[in-house]
Amino acid sequence: MNFKIDTKEKFTVIEPLEPALNDNLAVALYDACVHYLDEDIKNIILNLMSVTSINKKVADMFVELHQEFYNNDASLVLCNICVEVVAFLKNEELDYILNCTPTESEAWDIVQMEEIERELLGGDDFLSEE
């Protein structure tokens, strides 16, 4: 599967370049994303700008991937999702589970806010210094 990958300071943007994400492509995307959990920059933004269709297995993979990232103190945000894919996620009642934003810029903001939140909530030092 072809991906466009762009690494930033706090996250990596992965953009699948295939219009239809099927089961096989979902496995490749999952593997590509999970790889980053072992890197210094763990947060991922999935830019779905080129994706025009997904199936149930792909949608379930997004949920599994989302949970995997949050279990590892990392963020996963989906952005630039076409109307058809948004409708599919809503129909499957997954749109409330996943972190989805209309633009990549908004996805950046979510990742950065979640990083700050993890830093603040991760350290109890500031509570014990009173």
Share above pLDDT 70 across residues of the chain, in percent, rounded to a whole number:
93
Domain that holds residue 88: 3-128
SS3 58: helix
Please check whether residue 120 is in contact with residue 127, taking contact to mean a CB–CB distance below 8 angstroms: no
* pLDDT band, very low/low/confident/very high, at 95 (cuts 50, 70, 90): confident
pLDDT at residue 67 greater than cutoff 90:
yes
Distance CA 87, CA 4 (A): 25
DSSP 33: H
pLDDT at position 123 is 56
Strands 43-47 and 11-16: parallel
pLDDT at position 128 is 43
Strand partners for 54:
none
pLDDT at residue 125 greater than cutoff 70:
no
pLDDT at position 124 is 53
User: Which pair of tokens denotes residue 21?
Assistant: 């994400």
How many structural domains are present in the chain? Answer: 1
Kindly report the average pLDDT of the chain as a whole number: 91
pLDDT at residue 130 greater than cutoff 60:
no
* pLDDT band, very low/low/confident/very high, at 26 (cuts 50, 70, 90): confident
Q: Domain containing 107 — which CATH number?
A: 3.30.750.24
**Side-chain-facing half-sphere of 45: CA atoms under 13 Å:** 28
